[in-house]
Amino acid sequence: MKNFINRFWWLFPVLFAAAIFSIAIITPSWTPMLWVISILLTFMALITSWIFLLIFKKWWKFLFSFIMGALTVAFFIYLLYLGISLAFNPGPDNFGKEHPIPAHLEYSIPLDEREELSFPIDSTAQDTWLQIWNDFQGGMYTYEFHHPALEEGWIYLRCYEATENIPLSPERISAASMVATPSTTSFSKVVEKQCFTIYRGDWGDYYAARIEVWHKDAKTGKERKLMEKVYRVEGWQR
What local confidence, expressed as pLDDT, does residue 194 receive? 94
- Domains of the chain listed by start with CATH number: 2-88 (no CATH), 95-233 (2.60.40)
pLDDT at 160: 97
Instruction: Report how far residue 132's alpha carbon sits from residue 144's, in angstroms, rounded to the nearest whole number.
Output: 7
Q: In whole angstroms, what separates CA 110 from the centre of its chain?
A: 23
Q: Where are the alpha helices (DSSP H) in the chain?
A: 2-8, 11-21, 32-55, 59-88, 95-98, 170-177
Residue 29, pLDDT score? 52
C-alpha 224/C-alpha 217 separation (Å) is: 9
CA gap 158, 176 in Å, rounded:
11
What is the distance between the alpha carbons of residues 161 and 165, in angstroms, rounded to a whole number?
5
Contact 5, 52 (CB under 8 A): yes
pLDDT, residue 227, reads 93
Q: What is the pTM of this model?
A: 0.61
Residue type, 22: S
pLDDT beneath 70, residues of the chain: 1-10, 23-32, 34-35, 83-92, 117-126, 238
